[in-house]
Amino acid sequence: MEAWRQFAYHLLSIFNVVVVSYFVVGNGVYTLLMGISLAKVWLRSRALPFQGLDVARQSRAMPPVTIIVPAWNEQNIIVESLQAILRTDYPQLEVMVVDDGSSDRTLARLTSAFGLKRIRLIYRAALPTRAAEEFYRAPEIPNLLVVRKDHGGKPDALNVGINLCRTPYFCTLDADSVLDPDALLRLMQDIVRSPVDTVASGGIIRILNGCEVENGEVTRVALPAKPIERFQVVEYLRTFLFGRTGWDLLGATLIVSGAFAVFHRQTVVEAGGFSDDTVTEDLELIVRLYRWAAENQRRIRISFTSDPICWTECPSSLRMLARQRRRWQKGLCQTLWKNRDMVFNRKFRALGLLGLPFHLYVEALGAAVELLGYFIVPLAFLFHLAPPALYIPFLALALTYAGFLSTGAIVLEGLTSRRYPSLKDFTNLLKYAVIENLGYRQVVLFYRFQGVLQFLAGSRKWERVVHVGGRTGATGCASTTKVT
């Protein structure tokens, strides 16, 4: 019995080292990211008065951009979304909707709302895709093209869009997202300004739930009512304001959200386009772009800019949240596994030495470590394998630190963009930043753990998140809605 006890004690000690190192590495890096992001985002907000957006708007130097909107069974929102997209404030804009074989009335609603007429185009496939079968143009809207194709998934729909795209840059935009009118201009201005070729750039994604949308534009920003949505507001602020800003500064931007991102078309084609090898095609493409640049000895920039805003609906039920987080986690694991040779590889500079190892240890494996910690450590105390007096303080430290990081993100938002005008919303955000760690964090951790298990089981299923927001039912009329 004593031998078993000794064995368990040693195992526990090893696990403790793993948990503590996870805690130190994770929180240490996040604290570093918070510090540098605070400086960067604050400076960026101070520099906003001299961004010269009006000059950019009239400039002949802004390159043309095609917004590619992949749509699958989006009949409830597609018309309103497209109306908003067509109003995007950008000098040379093309818009392409790729209907990925919807089984609902997505195409029919587009046809009746925009007076689409079927045309025949020559389809030149620079990237292999399923057949693009039907093409539609609206005589009154010369910069709009609608394509219908066999259902092949989001990556395939995006590749069809890339094949048909005739502009040097394209922007991927989810059909359920709402762009700030000048978001694309801000993002492109950063690209044009950079002395290094920018091949991918993303803006900030914010939660639409709770906001008022008028004619496809967010007119009033407010917190959603449901706690599950409010927690996600905190999460998104933390992820985008200091997670991605920090990685961008370190030159290791790994995630550029496909919900709103601009890519250089030719580079993406040369790198092979979007792939369906993983369930997070945006993440996988970014890693592949880094690989392509290293293999071709090209100096490229993949960036994140904190002021162009894209609003998106977040899951408002646990069921949908579970689907979303499982997919994200599974996609991260798939991408890291697929590119495991890049981890700790000097050839990939900051990404190989810092970004990928961190994401592997803290974001991918961390889900399992943290969740197991919640079970194994109490068991150890229960069986007197560890001093019980330490468990509660350690747990308190971990949760307090997590609360500190989330509070930092909210403070950063309050110091810089101040998108939540109501003081009540702001204080609520601070409150949710703290209580997020008492329940919600553990639930999300569980879903992420499920994602890891799905990856280990070899699942490649794409779990679809259905949004049931207040925009449901829009039929193309100008409307004012509160996304609930």
Partner 1 sequence: MSLVDRMDLTVPAFTGAIALITILLAVAAVARRLQRDRRLRRVDDAALERISGPARVRMLEQLLLQKEPKPEQVPTLRRLCEDLGLTKVWQADLRGQRTARKVLEAPRREEGGIERIKPLRFLARARAAENLGLIRHRPSWPLLVRALHDPHPDVQWVATRALGTIREPAAFPALADRLRSFVLGTSTSLSVETTKAALINFPLQCAADVAPLLRHPHPRVRFEATDVIRQMAEREAAADPDFLLCPRNFFSSLAEHFLTTLGYDSDPEVRARAAPVIAYLAGPRSAAVLMKLLGDETWFVRLHAVRALAKPRFEFMASRVARLLTDSQWRVREAATETLIKLEVSGMRELIAHFFGDGKPGEADGNGHGRSWLPDLYSREQIAEQMERAGLLPALALHFEAWERRDGASAISQLIRAGKGPYLLAVLDALRAQAASEPVSIPAGINQVALEK
Residues in the site for partner 1, rule: CB under 8 A? 13, 16-17, 20, 43, 46-47, 49-50, 52, 54-55, 59-61, 117-122, 124, 137, 139, 192-195, 386-387, 389-390, 393-394, 396-397, 400-401, 403-404, 407-408, 410-411, 414-415, 418, 423, 426-427, 430, 434
For residue 264, give the nearest of 63, 34, 466 by alpha carbon.
63
What distances in angstroms separate CA 38 from CA 31, 34, 409, 416, 464, one per listed residue? Answer: 10, 6, 9, 9, 34
Extract the tokens encoding 478.
């100008």
Shortest Å, Cβ 164 to partner 1 = 12
Shortest Å, Cβ 390 to partner 1 = 5
Q: Partners of 149 in the beta sheet?
A: 132
The nearer residue to partner 1, 139 or 458, going by C-beta atoms, is 139
Report phi then psi at 135, rounded to 5.
Answer: -125, 140
The nearer residue to partner 1, 117 or 340, going by C-beta atoms, is 117
Q: Partners of 136 in the beta sheet?
A: 118, 146
Shortest Å, Cβ 472 to partner 1 = 31
The nearer residue to partner 1, 77 or 300, going by C-beta atoms, is 300
For residue 476, give the nearest of 214, 114, 144 by alpha carbon.
114
Cα–chain center distance at 387: 41
Strands (E), 4-88: 65-71
* Beta carbons of 335 and 280 less than 8 angstroms apart: yes
* Beta carbons of 351 and 342 less than 8 angstroms apart: yes
Cα 279 to Cα 282: distance, rounded to the nearest angstrom = 9
The nearer residue to partner 1, 227 or 393, going by C-beta atoms, is 393
Shortest Å, Cβ 202 to partner 1 = 19
Shortest Å, Cβ 139 to partner 1 = 7
The nearer residue to partner 1, 254 or 402, going by C-beta atoms, is 402
The nearer residue to partner 1, 24 or 456, going by C-beta atoms, is 24
DSSP letters spanning 385-411: SS-HHHHHHHHHHHHHHHHHHHHHHHH
Shortest Å, Cβ 461 to partner 1 = 37
Cα 139 to Cα 127: distance, rounded to the nearest angstrom = 28
Shortest Å, Cβ 431 to partner 1 = 9
Cα–chain center distance at 355: 16
Shortest Å, Cβ 190 to partner 1 = 10
The nearer residue to partner 1, 192 or 466, going by C-beta atoms, is 192
Cα–chain center distance at 205: 7
Shortest Å, Cβ 393 to partner 1 = 4
The nearer residue to partner 1, 121 or 225, going by C-beta atoms, is 121
Cα 444 to Cα 321: distance, rounded to the nearest angstrom = 8
Shortest Å, Cβ 268 to partner 1 = 19
Extract the tokens encoding 191.
């690209």
Cα 470 to Cα 208: distance, rounded to the nearest angstrom = 10
The nearer residue to partner 1, 49 or 458, going by C-beta atoms, is 49
Cα of first residue to Cα of last residue in the chain, in angstroms, is 58
The nearer residue to partner 1, 121 or 468, going by C-beta atoms, is 121
* Beta carbons of 432 and 231 less than 8 angstroms apart: yes
